[in-house]
Structure 1
Amino acid sequence: MRIRTAQPDDAPAVVALRSVVYPYLVRGVESTRKMIAEPPPEEEWTAFVAEVDGRVVGWVSAEQIGTTSVANVGGINLLHVHPEHRRRGIGSGLLAAATDYLRPLGIRRVRATAQPEALPFARRHGYEPSREVRYSALDLNPAPALPDPPPGVRLHPIADLDPRLLYAADVASAVDEPGDVPVDSKSYESWRYDVWDNLGLDRRASIAAEVDGEVVAFSLVKRDGDRMWSDYTGSVPTYRGRGLARLAKTAALHRAAANGVRIAYTSNDEANAPMLAINVRLGYRPVAAEWSCLADLT
Structure 2
Amino acid sequence: MRPLIRPATPDDYPVLVAIGNRAFPEYPDTVDEWRHWDDHRNPKLRFQRFVAELDGQIVGFGEHSQDEGMYHPRKFSVEITVDPDQRRRGVGGALYDHIARALADADPIAYWTNIREDHAAGLRFAAARGFREVMRNWENHLRMADYAPERFAGAVEKAEATGIAFRTFGELRASDPDFFRKLFAVQEEISQDAPQPDPATPLDFETWRGRTVNNPNLIPDGYFIACDGDRYVGISTLFSSQTENFLYTGWTGVLRAYRRRGIALALKLKALDHARSLGAPLVKTWNASTNVGMLAINADLGFQKQPAWIIHVLDLAAAEPVAAAQPALAAAG
Aligned to 2:191: 174
Aligned to 2:166: 155
* Residue 216 (structure 2) pairs with residue 199 (structure 1): yes
The answer to whether the Cα contact below 8 Å between 2:8 and 2:49 also exists between their aligned partners in 1 is yes
The answer to whether the Cα contact below 8 Å between 1:25 and 1:229 also exists between their aligned partners in 2 is no
The answer to whether the Cα contact below 8 Å between 1:72 and 1:106 also exists between their aligned partners in 2 is yes
1:238 aligns with one of 248, 251, 257: 257
2:70 aligns with one of 68, 71, 79: 68
The answer to whether the Cα contact below 8 Å between 1:219 and 1:230 also exists between their aligned partners in 2 is yes
Secondary structure at the residue paired with 2:43? Answer: coil
The answer to whether the Cα contact below 8 Å between 2:239 and 2:247 also exists between their aligned partners in 1 is yes
Secondary structure at the residue paired with 1:189? Answer: helix
- Equivalence map 1:127-142=2 (5 Å): 127-141=131-145
Secondary structure at the residue paired with 2:212? Answer: helix
Tell me: CA distance 1:260–1:16, structure 2 relative to 1, closer, same or farther (3 Å).
farther
The answer to whether the Cα contact below 8 Å between 1:63 and 1:102 also exists between their aligned partners in 2 is no
1:41 to partner: Cα distance = 2.9
* Number of aligned positions between the proteins: 297
Query: Which protein is richer in helix relative to its size?
Result: 2
Q: Distance in 2 between matches of 1:220 and 1:165?
A: 16
Tell me: CA distance 1:30–1:273, structure 2 relative to 1, closer, same or farther (3 Å).
same
1:170 to partner: Cα distance = 1.0
Aligned to 2:327: none
- Equivalence map 1:277-296=2 (5 Å): 277-296=296-315
Secondary structure at the residue paired with 1:175? Answer: helix
Q: Per-residue CA shift, 1:166-221, capped at 9, x if unaligned?
A: 11011111222111112231121232244343222222211111112122111122
The answer to whether the Cα contact below 8 Å between 1:222 and 1:228 also exists between their aligned partners in 2 is yes
Moved more, 210-219 or 182-191: 182-191
Identity, in percent, stands at: 26
Unaligned runs of 5+ in 1: none
- With structure 1 as the length reference, what TM-score do the two structures score? 0.88
Tell me: CA distance 1:38–1:132, structure 2 relative to 1, closer, same or farther (3 Å).
closer
Aligned residue identity for 1:234? G
Secondary structure at the residue paired with 2:114? Answer: strand
Tell me: CA distance 1:11–1:206, structure 2 relative to 1, closer, same or farther (3 Å).
farther
Q: Distance in 2 between matches of 1:38 and 1:174?
A: 18
1:187 aligns with one of 187, 190, 204: 204
Tell me: CA distance 1:102–1:185, structure 2 relative to 1, closer, same or farther (3 Å).
farther
Aligned to 1:34: 36
Secondary structure at the residue paired with 1:184? Answer: coil
Q: Distance in 2 between matches of 1:179 and 1:220?
A: 20
- With structure 2 as the length reference, what TM-score do the two structures score? 0.80
Aligned to 1:100: 101
Secondary structure at the residue paired with 1:203? Answer: strand
Aligned residue identity for 1:124? A
1:133 to partner: Cα distance = 1.8
The answer to whether the Cα contact below 8 Å between 1:205 and 1:221 also exists between their aligned partners in 2 is yes
The answer to whether the Cα contact below 8 Å between 2:17 and 2:30 also exists between their aligned partners in 1 is yes
1:40 to partner: Cα distance = 3.6
Aligned to 2:328: none
Aligned residue identity for 2:138? R
Structure with the greater alpha carbon radius of gyration:
2
Q: Distance in 2 between matches of 1:292 and 1:92?
A: 19
Q: Distance in 1 between matches of 2:269 and 2:63?
A: 32
- Equivalence map 1:35-54=2 (5 Å): 35-37=37-39, 39-52=41-54
Higher relative contact order, structure no. (Cα contacts within 8 Å, ≥ 6 residues apart): 2
Aligned residue identity for 1:210? C
Aligned residue identity for 1:102? L
* Residue 17 (structure 2) pairs with residue 6 (structure 1): no
1:227 aligns with one of 231, 241, 246: 246
Unaligned runs of 5+ in 2: 173-178, 322-333
1:27 to partner: Cα distance = 4.1
- Equivalence map 1:253-272=2 (5 Å): 253-272=272-291
